Amino acid sequence: MTRPRPLQTAGRPAEGPLIELTDVRTHFATERGLVRAVDGVTLTIQRGRAVGLVGESGSGKTVLSRSIMGLLPRRGVVRSGSIRFEGTELIDAPRSTLRSLWGREMAMVFQDPMTSLNPLMRVGEQIAEPLRIHLGQSRAEARDTTIRLLTEVRIPSPAERLRQYPYELSGGMRQRVMIAIALACGPTALLADEPTTALDVTVQAQILALLSEERRERNMTLVLVTHDLGVVARHTDEVAVMYGGKVVERAPTAALFRRTRMPYTEALMRSIPTVDDPPHTRLAAIPGRPPDLVEPPPGCRFAARCAYARERCHAEEPSLVASSDDPDHHYACWYPVGTVEPVALRPADPAAVG
Amino acid sequence: MRYALQRIGQLLVVFVVVTFAVLVAMRLGAGGHRELARRMLGGNVTDQQVDEAVRRYHLDSNYLVQYLYWLKGFVTFDLGYSSANSMSVAKLLAPRFWTTALLGIYAIAVGLLLAVPAAVIQAHRRDSWIDRLGNVASFIGFGVPAIVLGIFLQLAFSLHWHLFPAIGDSIYPWQQFGAHVRNFLLPTLTLAIPQAAIYTRLLRADMVATLQRDFVVLASAKGMPTRRILWRHALRNSLLSIVTSVGTSLGGLLGGAVVVETLFDLDGIGSQMVISVLSRDLFTVQACVAFVVFIVVVVNLVVDLSYSLIDPRVRMARALA
């Protein structure tokens, strides 16, 4: 299939920081107290790069991606820190500033394509909407662009799809439509929040390949939120591993896998089964549960589940520091992997439960 | 299409069962068929006239035959004779039918016109002062009986400010439009305000739920203006309850029409039905009930078919069924 050229890539600086996060905190007011979903994240995302945000459920990765977009509930949210997008401060920015960026500069692909498309609107109109409103395209222009976009995301017979409703499409097709919507106005940054979690394994690979390809061709910045380290390894340039609302390890992807420093990252990697394992190998689960984000424990938030934890880990919180041998590799740990002997943690040890 | 025909068939059955039941109930307590004929004709009648009525309405046959002859009359607008008014029922009810039908249509239309914007704004500004105000207003509108509301409107707009007549005249839009509006406005409001209150509460609840759905968040992430998100994306996905309630509230609306027509002295089916029941005017009661059932059946058919206009998935499911 011949692929049309991407719509807009010209006129943008190719390098330099695009999104700069400084001590970003997003807390939710609940009956139990303030949930510190994101609790002090500092991170710079470079233009044109693919950055993975990794962590288990409740680590704060999704809330962080929504914080960058500004797509948070209007009430019950306490935010602080600084989020700069192309130099514009987004925290406390008026809704109108955000709306001028949404769709045009930053776009988002959600996790579940079954619920993220309007069930009562034709697919064509859902893609054409931002084209008409943001780019001022006429009905006919928007139709042509929509067909081009559908072709670009490899949806067969795109002209016929325009008149279909989401329920007439498979999950994979719907996710392609979501990507077409996100790409419609040629955004600078695309935030994909677990874009393949709800899809079949075979379709997952196709969707990720499509996202990577679009990023390269459009020189777009991609923030890929996922719990899957395998996905990160194949599709990102850099990774930030999140735990308990904080970034605990940050490195270029290759370095992260070559020389893992943070015990949590190591535990995540161990929990991935490999084809070399004999049948019926017990999966290496991380014992315990993620920490309570209302009253986080003092010290390292992972200490309760960590095989290397010492007394200091339970008392003092390590900060994110650059590795002595690699200035791009940051980790927050007193006793990084390889410096002390692990202590055996029984998987069902109640004391290990945070 | 096949679905529509099926529904029409079902609703015809409803119509037949109800009108047959009314016919039997009205004729049951009369004693013999000559006694029944005498009652139908009312007043002093000769034996000859009674014989003629028995022959004409087949009163000596069983109820089923009587019903079939009545049904034949109904479809040809031969509705029998009103003993109390000494005129044919068709002539008596034709203008009254329009009064009630227009009141019903206006009440639903004005109710929706008030409710939809109120509910959309309330859902958008949930828990704000405007939402609270709307909740209180709809609670009051829902709780005040039609007779109290109607009298209040009369006192305020007719007796105090002299804006609208308290005692109405059934003038139709094709006769004198301005006079029609003046005469129908207060009765319409009396019926519409409680309707609007119900519609508002239902739609607000549905909108609040819809506004939390993923596709609404996606519409935000696409940078769509708030107005478009509310009216184009969320509203259509929130219509199910309110559309259903238009159909089910119609019974109450026609009940309310009895009160309103009496209060504002409009000649309608509702007020006529009460008078005719009291004067045992059999043919008129029968025809009034038939019209009411007919209206309810038609509106419910429209409601039913509108589901598939709103939701393509319903259309699809019905096409396959």
Contact B133, B300 (CB under 8 A): no
The full DSSP string for B90-147 is HHHHHHHHHHHHHHHHHHHHHHHHHHHHHHHHHHHTTTSHHHHHHHHHHHHHHHS-HH
Question: Under an 8 A CB cutoff, do A181 and B223 touch?
Answer: no
- CB neighbour list of residue B97: distance below 8 Å, 6 or more residues apart: B269, B291
The packing angle between helices B250-263 and B177-210, to 10°, is 150
Name the residue facing A167 among B233, B236, B313 (closest C-beta): B313
State which residue of chain B sits closest to A103, comparing Cα positions. B222
| Predicted confidence band of residue A13 (pLDDT cuts 50, 70, 90) | low
Place of tokens 């209302």: A294
Position A128 scores a pLDDT of 96
Distance (Å) of CA A121 to CA A126, A237, A338, B207, B238: 7, 37, 55, 17, 13
Question: Under an 8 A CB cutoff, do A110 and B218 touch?
Answer: yes
Q: Strands B87-88, B81-82: parallel, antiparallel or unpaired by DSSP?
A: antiparallel
The answer to whether residue A61 scores a pLDDT higher than 70 is yes
% of chain A exceeding 70 in pLDDT: 93
pLDDT, tens digit, 9 for 90 and up, residues B10-30: 999 999 999 999 888 888 877
Question: Under an 8 A CB cutoff, do A120 and B220 touch?
Answer: no
Question: Under an 8 A CB cutoff, do B224 and A118 touch?
Answer: no
pLDDT, tens digit, 9 for 90 and up, residues A173-192: 999 999 999 999 999 999 99
Taking the C-alpha atoms of residue B239 and residue B236, their distance in angstroms, rounded to an integer, is 6
- Mind telling me how many Å the CA of A118 is from chain B's nearest CA? 5
Number of Cα atoms under 13 Å in the Cβ half of residue B96: 23
* Helix, strand or coil, per DSSP, at residue A42: strand
The answer to whether residue B167 scores a pLDDT higher than 60 is yes
Distance (Å) of CA A60 to CA A257, A344, B234: 22, 28, 29
Position A3 scores a pLDDT of 47
Which residues of chain A does B312 touch, with a Cβ-Cβ cutoff of 8 Å? 120, 165, 167
pLDDT, tens digit, 9 for 90 and up, residues A122-135: 999 999 999 999 99
Position A345 scores a pLDDT of 56
All structural domains of chain B with their residue ranges: 2-89, 94-320
Taking the C-alpha atoms of residue B277 and residue A150, their distance in angstroms, rounded to an integer, is 67
| Predicted confidence band of residue A2 (pLDDT cuts 50, 70, 90) | very low
pLDDT, tens digit, 9 for 90 and up, residues B38-62: 877 777 778 888 888 888 888 888 8
pLDDT, tens digit, 9 for 90 and up, residues A248-304: 999 999 999 999 999 999 988 888 877 788 888 877 788 888 888 898 888 899 998
Contact A79, A314 (CB under 8 A): no
The answer to whether residue A348 scores a pLDDT higher than 50 is no
Position A235 scores a pLDDT of 93
| Predicted confidence band of residue A139 (pLDDT cuts 50, 70, 90) | very high
- Phi, psi angle pair for A82, to nearest 5°: -135, 135
Which residues of chain A does B228 touch, with a Cβ-Cβ cutoff of 8 Å? 129, 133
Contact A332, A300 (CB under 8 A): yes
pLDDT, tens digit, 9 for 90 and up, residues A320-333: 999 988 899 999 99
CATH superfamily membership of B94-320: MetI-like (1.10.3720.10)
**What residues 21-40 of chain B have any CB closer than 8 A to a CB of chain A?**
none
Q: Give the best residue of B215, B307, B309 to mutate against chain A (max A CB count within 10 A).
A: B215
Stretch B56-73: mean pLDDT: 87
Average pLDDT, chain B: 88
Distance (Å) of CA B89 to CA B54, B78, B238, B273, B286: 18, 8, 43, 12, 10
Average pLDDT, chain A: 88
**Minimal CA–CA distance to B11: which of B302, B284, B263?**
B302
Which residues of chain B does A134 touch, with a Cβ-Cβ cutoff of 8 Å? 223
Question: Under an 8 A CB cutoff, do B214 and A116 touch?
Answer: yes
% of chain B exceeding 90 in pLDDT: 32
Kindly calculate the radius of gyration of chain A based on its CA atoms and give it in whole angstroms.
Answer: 21
Least confident of A84-93, A166-175, B175-184, B281-290: B175-184
Stretch A44-59: mean pLDDT: 92
Question: Under an 8 A CB cutoff, do A133 and B237 touch?
Answer: no
Which residues of chain A does B236 touch, with a Cβ-Cβ cutoff of 8 Å? 120
Question: Under an 8 A CB cutoff, do A71 and B221 touch?
Answer: yes
* Helix, strand or coil, per DSSP, at residue A109: strand
Place of tokens 């009314």: B22
Q: Would you call B218 an interface residue with chain A, using a CB distance cutoff of 8 Å? A: yes
Position B144 scores a pLDDT of 87
Question: Under an 8 A CB cutoff, do B312 and A167 touch?
Answer: yes
Taking the C-alpha atoms of residue B104 and residue B292, their distance in angstroms, rounded to an integer, is 11
Question: Under an 8 A CB cutoff, do B222 and A110 touch?
Answer: no
Position B78 scores a pLDDT of 84
Which residues of chain B does A116 touch, with a Cβ-Cβ cutoff of 8 Å? 214-215, 217-218
Position A349 scores a pLDDT of 45
Which residues of chain B does A110 touch, with a Cβ-Cβ cutoff of 8 Å? 214, 217-218, 221
| Predicted confidence band of residue B265 (pLDDT cuts 50, 70, 90) | confident
